[in-house]
Structure formats: C-alpha cells, structure tokens
Amino acid sequence: DIIKTTLEENLNMIHDTILFLKEQGKEVIFDAEHFFDGYRANPGYAVKCLEVAAKAG
C-alpha cells in the first residue's frame, strides 16, 4: 500500500536496484529489516524477496 505497486513489481525493483548498484561497483547490503513482519503476513513472498535480492548480487 505504501509504495502503490504490485508484489511482482516490488520484486523487480529489489532486483533492479541491487543489480544497478553492483554494476556501479558498490557493496550492497539488503537490510530486510521488516522481514519477519512480512513473513507473518505472507511467508512465501517474504522468502521470495530474499531470494531475488541474493540472485541480484
């Protein structure tokens, strides 16, 4: 609700942002600070966010 996007688009934004920063030579740390809140609401999607972030770099 906050960023007015779909779950799929959010996954794309996670991927694209991490990939862009890595391509710029930056060290990227995916904080996932609200992971457990998200996990309670939608476990599969919360894990998918971590997987997408890891695959992006």
- Each residue's pLDDT, cut to its tens digit, for the chain (57 residues) gives 688 999 999 999 999 999 999 999 999 999 999 999 999 999 999 999 999 999 999
Return the pLDDT at 38: 94
53 contacts: CB under 8 Å, gap ≥ 6: 14, 15, 18, 30, 32
Return the pLDDT at 1: 67
Closest of 47, 17, 13 to residue 32, by C-alpha: 47
User: 20, 56 in Cβ contact below 8 A?
Assistant: no
